[in-house]
């Protein structure tokens, strides 16, 4: 894989419900005055503490965001209107009249002040073979890539699909799109050809960017081959750019472009497009409660500002720190906290290509020691896995550079939280359990920023970020005003980082997020607010589940399972899983004539799901049943199935609406036999 300025030769050859009681008071230096903590807050009358600043950011949202946007971003033309939003209609516009370029904000302005500062540390699969890319080099790569895209006809407003693992050329591709005004659509490189082609078609991309092969956990994956299969059903695709991650050649067709070779022919200067604040920056597909993934749309200024601000204040990131977010760039966490947030802040960010256990369970901590990581941001599923291997893998390495530990994507159980805090962080580093979503663009609820000596309760996301006003709704759709209560988590006023729409389907956007509680943004999650006013996420309220931190709609899996010739119908639910957080449990009714062995069925269904979605979505457990519990109107009672699998047989609830109560007895029996 080609990198500019001296790196080329190296790289070319290698290319529930938890206890709230065990509160931990994390002591750090005392709060200083607000303006010193947050320079843009200097002019805010009365916001003399961080708590007051939080109140101000919500009650005087325009003043807050206007000052922050002027301070944090470089504008080609200033905005004239801070916000023009109407949540009930799904109209969300921030910083109108403003023009800017996101790649200039992430690169050029830092190149002017510190060209040789390291922007990216590419932590490749092979430990000890990291590659550092400075801001000057990254700008050069981005410009060459921007020119290459322009030469191949990519114009402002087009959408480029990127199917690459985390690597500098993927970041340069994202920023190159931003530079020339094209949107990007990064598809996680673990998705199958079918899932990829669905996303390319929906985004109507004419260009796809990929690598010859991926390397992860010592295994090679044929990414270019997956793209070849995917684009067969994508008539819009004109070109596929192929970077070389390994030395192994791949078959190149007339449509394929050797990316590094062609980039070298391009100029290192690329005129940035002057983008409107509300032009699309990227689409990112995520799962909902129907079978079809939705392309959430994020726009330029508001998204970048929110990613930058949350990165700075939730993690307490300072100039010179090394930020280690281990999420893949194919997910929103990678977008906001491996790429846009850190780069907008002129930071040094790690791109992690490997797995937590390769070559051994000490990988993360050996990397922390070697790269001198200051903030580590990862998923509870990996923490749960690593704690099972024992403390010795952590103790082996020096973690004294660590200042903040972050958790994201799913609830972190108390045991994992305590281990992360005590063993990994030596009881020195605050653990920030950050709650947010692809839809929110950045972190909305987290223990920080707050006064540094404010308490953090294990397993609780705790406090809203600046400008975020969470509310809990009761079953009648009214706002719960008291504490020590649970409800549907909504956000009461717009914030700059929120998604603007679903690509090509604004109606689905408003129906999903704006209509359930008119005037509020509905997150799809449930939450608990403690006596002290702290938030804890209790889980999804819809049919979306979270497997190893990866979000997937049960309807998407059912759609595939139902395509199996032996299957008459199915119901898929999530259940508690020790490591993954949630596992996939499929109840399957076979066709009368079907003759199939259990093991064959399991193999068939797993193959189908892996082929049509991704491996992580494959059922962990398949139970063949005679019939599914349904209401008289034919609706599957998933609530009952969930209770059976969680062995909460006393809590099956009202079964009077069941069409055939015998179905439940049979399923309980079948489930016991499986255990």
Q: By the criterion CB under 6 A, which residues form the site for ligand PRX?
A: 286, 332-333, 408-411, 433-438, 461, 523-525, 537, 540, 546, 551
Shortest distance in whole angstroms from residue 490 CB to ligand PRX:
12
Nearer to ligand PRX, 70 or 639 (CB): 639
Nearer residue to ligand PRX within complex by CB, 213 or 523: 523
SS (H, E, C) 582-596: EEEEEEEEECCCCCC
- For residue 521, the tally of other CB atoms under 10 A from its CB is 25
| Cβ–Cβ < 8 Å for 121, 166 | no
Minimum Å distance from CB 75 to ligand PRX?
28
Distance in Å, CB of 192 to ligand PRX, minimum: 18
Q: Which is nearer to ligand PRX, 213 or 434 (CB)?
A: 434
Q: Which residue is nearest to ligand PRX (CB)?
A: 438
Element (H, E) at 367: helix 363-371
Using alpha carbons, select from 357, 367, 365 the residue that is nearest to residue 420.
365
DSSP label of 658: B
Q: CB neighbours of 595 closer than 8 A, spacing ≥ 6?
A: none
Which is nearer to ligand PRX, 409 or 467 (by Cβ)?
409
For residue 452, the surrounding DSSP H or E stretch is: none
Is 443:314 a contact under the CB 8 Å cutoff? yes
For the bound state, the minimum distance from the C-beta of residue 432 to ligand PRX, rounded and expressed in Å, comes to: 9
- Secondary structure (3-state) at 421: helix
Reading the block at residue 386, the tokens are 């690593």
Of residues 197 and 438, the one with the C-beta less far from ligand PRX: 438
Q: Closer to ligand PRX by CB, 458 or 524: give it.
A: 524
Among candidates 39, 2, 28, which has minimal Cα distance to 345?
39
Sequence-separated (6 or more) residues with CB below 8 Å from residue 224: 210, 211, 212, 213, 240, 242, 250
Q: Whole-number minimum distance, CB 494 to ligand PRX, in Å? A: 18
Residue 437 CB, nearest approach to ligand PRX (Å)? 4
**CB of residue 573 to ligand PRX, shortest distance in Å:** 15
Among residues 660, 551, 598, the alpha carbon closest in space to that of 191 is found at 551
438 vs 570, which CB is nearer to ligand PRX? Answer: 438
Kindly state the smallest distance separating residue 551's Cβ from ligand PRX, in Å.
4
Question: Are the CB atoms for 434 and 449 separated by under 8 Å?
Answer: no
Q: Which is nearer to ligand PRX, 346 or 449 (CB)?
A: 449
Minimal distance, residue 199 CB to ligand PRX, in Å: 15
CA separation (Å) from 481 to 43, 140, 473, 537? 31, 53, 9, 17
Nearer residue to ligand PRX within complex by CB, 106 or 460: 460
Rounded to a whole number of angstroms, the minimum distance from the CB of residue 409 to ligand PRX is: 4
CB 625 within 8 A of CB 588: yes
HEC sequence for 102-131: HHHHHHHHHHHHCCCCEEEEEECCCCCCCE
Q: What contacts 242, CB < 8 A, 6 or more positions away?
A: 210, 211, 212, 224, 250, 252, 256, 257, 258, 259
Question: Which of 333/450 has CB closer to ligand PRX?
Answer: 333
The distance of closest approach from Cβ of residue 369 to ligand PRX in the complex, given in angstroms and rounded to an integer, is 26
Measured from the CB atom, is 18 or 132 closer to ligand PRX? 18
- Give the SS3 label for residue 67: helix
- Smallest gap from Cβ 544 to ligand PRX, in A, equals 7
CA 259, CA 120: separation in Å to the nearest integer? 20
DSSP string, 470-504: EEEE-TTSPBP-SSSEEEEEEESS--TTS--EETT
Whole-angstrom Cα distance, residue 438 to residue 540?
14
d(CA 625, CA 567) in angstroms, rounded, equals 11
Contact 505, 522 (CB under 8 A): no
Could you give the 3-state DSSP secondary structure of residue 52?
helix
Residue 72 C-beta: closest distance to ligand PRX, Å: 21
Which residue, 294 or 671, has its beta carbon nearer to ligand PRX?
A: 294
- Is residue 327 within 8 Å of residue 338, measured between CB atoms? yes
- In the complex with ligand PRX, the residue whose CB is nearer, 341 or 524, is 524
């Amino acid at each position: 894989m080609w990198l500019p300025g001296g790196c080329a030769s190296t790289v070319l050859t290698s290319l529930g419900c938890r206890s709230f009681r065990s509160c931990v008071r994390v002591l750090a230096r005392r709060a200083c005055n607000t303006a010193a903590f947050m320079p843009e807050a200097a002019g805010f009358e009365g916001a003399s503490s961080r708590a007051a600043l939080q109140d101000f950011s919500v009650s005087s949202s325009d003043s807050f965001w206007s000052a922050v946007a002027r301070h944090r971003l470089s504008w080609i033309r200033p905005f004239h209107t801070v916000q023009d939003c109407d949540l009930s209609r799904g109209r969300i516009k921030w910083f109108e009249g403003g023009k800017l370029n996101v790649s200039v904000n992430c690169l050029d302005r830092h190149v002017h002040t510190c060209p040789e500062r390291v922007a990216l540390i590419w932590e490749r699969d092979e430990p000890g073979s990291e590659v550092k890319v400075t801001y000057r080099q990254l700008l050069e790569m981005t410009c060459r890539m921007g020119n290459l895209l322009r030469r191949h006809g990519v114009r402002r407003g087009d959408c480029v699909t990127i199917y690459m693992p985390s690597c500098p050329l993927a970041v340069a591709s994202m920023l190159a799109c931003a530079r020339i005004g094209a949107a990007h659509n990064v598809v996680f490189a673990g998705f199958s050809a079918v899932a990829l082609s669905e996303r390319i078609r929906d985004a109507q991309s004419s260009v796809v960017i990929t690598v010859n092969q991926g390397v992860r956990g010592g295994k090679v994956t044929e990414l270019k081959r997956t793209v070849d299969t995917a684009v067969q059903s994508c008539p819009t695709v004109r070109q596929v750019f192929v970077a070389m991650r390994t030395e192994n050649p791949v078959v190149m067709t007339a449509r394929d472009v050797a990316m590094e070779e062609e980039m070298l022919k391009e100029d290192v200067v690329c005129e940035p497009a002057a983008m409107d604040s509300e032009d699309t920056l990227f689409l990112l597909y995520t799962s909902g409660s129907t079978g079809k993934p939705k392309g959430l749309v994020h726009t330029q200024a508001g998204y970048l500002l929110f990613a930058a601000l949350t990165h700075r204040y939730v993690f307490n990131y300072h100039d010179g720190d090394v930020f280690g977010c281990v999420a893949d760039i194919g997910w929103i966490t990678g977008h906001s906290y491996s790429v846009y947030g850190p780069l907008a802040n002129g930071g040094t960010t790690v791109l992690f290509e490997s797995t937590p256990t390769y070559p051994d369970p000490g990988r993360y901590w050996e990397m922390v020691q070697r790269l001198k990581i200051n903030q580590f941001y990862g998923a509870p599923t990996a923490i749960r896995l690593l704690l099972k291997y024992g403390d010795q893998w952590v103790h082996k390495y020096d973690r004294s550079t660590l200042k903040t530990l972050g958790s994201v994507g799913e609830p972190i159980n108390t045991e994992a939280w305590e281990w992360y805090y005590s063993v990994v962080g030596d009881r020195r580093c605050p653990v920030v359990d950050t709650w947010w979503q692809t839809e929110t663009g950045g972190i909305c609820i987290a223990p920080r920023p707050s006064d540094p000596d404010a308490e953090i309760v294990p397993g609780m996301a705790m406090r809203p970020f600046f400008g975020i006003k969470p509310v809990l709704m009761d079953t009648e759709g009214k706002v719960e005003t008291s504490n020590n209560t649970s409800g549907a988590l909504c956000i009461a006023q717009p914030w700059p980082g929120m998604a603007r729409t679903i690509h090509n389907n604004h109606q689905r956007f408003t129906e999903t997020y704006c209509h359930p509680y008119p005037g509020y943004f509905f997150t799809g999650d449930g939450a608990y607010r403690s006596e002290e006013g702290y938030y804890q996420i209790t889980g999804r309220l819809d049919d979306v589940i979270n497997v190893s931190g990866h979000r997937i709609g049960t309807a998407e899996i059912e759609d595939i399972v139902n395509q199996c010739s032996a299957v008459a119908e199915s119901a898929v639910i999530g259940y508690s899983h020790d490591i993954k957080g949630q596992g996939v449990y499929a109840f399957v009714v076979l066709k009368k004539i079907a003759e199939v062995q259990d093991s064959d069925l399991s193999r068939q269904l797993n193959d189908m799901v892996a082929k049509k979605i991704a491996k992580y979505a494959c059922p962990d457990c398949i139970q063949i049943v005679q019939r599914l519990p349904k209401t008289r109107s034919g609706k599957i009672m998933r609530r009952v199935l969930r209770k059976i699998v969680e062995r909460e047989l006393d809590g099956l609830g009202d079964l009077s609406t069941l069409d055939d109560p015998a179905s439940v007895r049979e399923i309980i029996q079948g489930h016991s036999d499986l255990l």
